[in-house]
Amino acid sequence: MSNSAPLIPSIAAVIVAAGQGLRAGQPLPKQFARWRGKPVVRHSAEALAAAGVTPIVVAIPDGTDRLAAECLAGIPGIVLVTGGTTRRDSVRLGLAALEAGAPDLVLVHDAARPILPRAVFDRLVDALANHPGAIPVLPVVDSLTEAEGGLMAQPARRELLRRVQTPQAFRYRDIWAAHRNWNGSDEPGDDAQVARAAGLAVALVEGDERLHKLTFASDFEATLPPLRVGTGYDVHRLSPGEELWLCGVKIDHSHGLAGHSDADVAIHALVDAILGAIGQGDIGSHFPPSDPQWKGASSDRFLAHAATLAAASGYRIGNIDLTIVCEAPKIGPHREAMRLRLAEILATDLGAISVKATTTERLGFTGRSEGIAAQAVATLLRD
């Protein structure tokens, strides 16, 4: 009787990432666009590497070698190949790159499905012990019908149908032979169809809703959190002979705030809070004091710009909480005018704006009336 351990099959993968991904509305092919902090293609490549898959052949568009290498840097076992004009061509080229090493099993995966649950991977590999191919599927929950000229035709039996996902798993030599011998006139929708045409049995295993394919711009927008929060803090020195602007309102006072622009410390803190919420740096990176065009500029321009950037990032103002720290002037008499002006600049409801004031009990630079400080919190909601 042999005491040797059972052989563990070698598993390789082909990630299909050679498309242009134009429907996703990204500035570059969607497989290289960032999604949840990483390039889309990197998510599944990392999951495969973590499962011990090697090599991982990635079929990419012509001329994107450098970009792909940057997106996949540090992942062991990555092999880049230039894909073909169709999905089948790209898979065939990926399988060909594995021929010299001839793994026992191979998984073919769409780069546009970034989340690859380990449980699905394990179910696929287990199924290959008894079948030459296996694919993850999900049931169809909606009623289905055929369509003819914009009218309902025959109903389709949803209990007989399944939604097909990737990765699709095969015994390598079987699927490689099936691709080499493919002579169908129509392009197959996936590799399971190539396998079936070659007479290979393809097992169905339970898929996962998380294997959703990123296709449209909304798929990328959906990754934005529903709520984001930013904070801002600013200080300006009080100086005689300067105008005093707070929250876009000019206030009569013996001293004004000194700064390169109109030195509206409250708006500056609020701009930083909004920029912080969307990860866009601070006011100085957008309006550097070294730039002469901003000398004496009204700070409402800075706030309007921050609100525009927030909107471009998919967010609107949820609420603003602003605290002004000073001994003088008294903020109470001007509070409502300040709220109205901020709501006007931000194009939001007055009820979303809170302006408060406090002192430091005559302690520190604000207590000595040497300057005014402001602290802001901005809550942004996904639009």
- pLDDT of res. 3: 56
Residue of 376, 230, 378, 274 whose CA lies nearest to 318: 378
User: Token digits for 71?
Assistant: 């997106």
What letter would DSSP give residue 351?
G
- pLDDT of res. 20: 74
Is the Cβ–Cβ distance between 113 and 213 less than 8 Å? yes
Helix (H) / strand (E) element for 237: namely strand 227-240
Task: Look up the pTM and report it.
Answer: 0.64
Alpha-carbon distance of 209 to 365, in angstroms, equals: 57
Alpha-carbon distance of 189 to 19, in angstroms, equals: 14
Strand, coil or helix: what is 211?
helix
Alpha-carbon distance of 225 to 373, in angstroms, equals: 31
- pLDDT of res. 121: 97
Alpha-carbon distance of 59 to 68, in angstroms, equals: 10
- pLDDT of res. 325: 97
Is the Cβ–Cβ distance between 43 and 35 less than 8 Å? yes
Helix (H) / strand (E) element for 273: namely helix 265-277
Q: Between β-strands 244-246 and 249-251, what pairing exists: parallel, antiparallel or unpaired? A: antiparallel
- pLDDT of res. 1: 44
Beta strands in 74-223 (DSSP E): 78-82, 105-110, 133-139, 144-148, 151-156, 162-164, 168-171, 202-206
What letter would DSSP give residue 213?
P
All domains of the chain, ordered by start, with CATH? 11-221 (3.90.550.10), 227-382 (3.30.1330.50)
Rg (CA), the chain: 30
Question: What Å distances lie between residue 96 and 86, 172, 374, CA to CA?
Answer: 15, 11, 64
Is the Cβ–Cβ distance between 286 and 297 less than 8 Å? no
CA angle 231, 233, 234 (to 5 degrees): 150
Task: Tally the residues of the chain.
Answer: 383
- pLDDT of res. 349: 94
Alpha-carbon distance of 82 to 102, in angstroms, equals: 20
Backbone angles phi, psi at 143, to 5 degrees: -65, 145
pLDDT of the chain along its 383 residues, tens only?
Answer: 455 555 789 999 999 999 875 554 565 788 998 888 889 999 999 999 999 999 999 999 999 999 999 999 999 999 999 999 999 999 999 999 999 999 999 999 999 999 999 999 999 999 999 999 999 999 999 898 889 989 888 988 888 999 999 999 999 999 999 999 998 778 898 999 999 999 999 999 999 999 999 887 777 765 668 899 999 999 999 999 899 999 999 999 999 999 888 999 999 999 999 999 999 999 988 888 888 888 888 999 999 999 999 998 889 999 999 999 999 999 999 999 999 999 999 999 999 999 999 999 999 999 999 999 999 999 999 87
Backbone angles phi, psi at 222, to 5 degrees: -65, -15
Q: How far is CA 177 from the centre of its chain?
A: 38
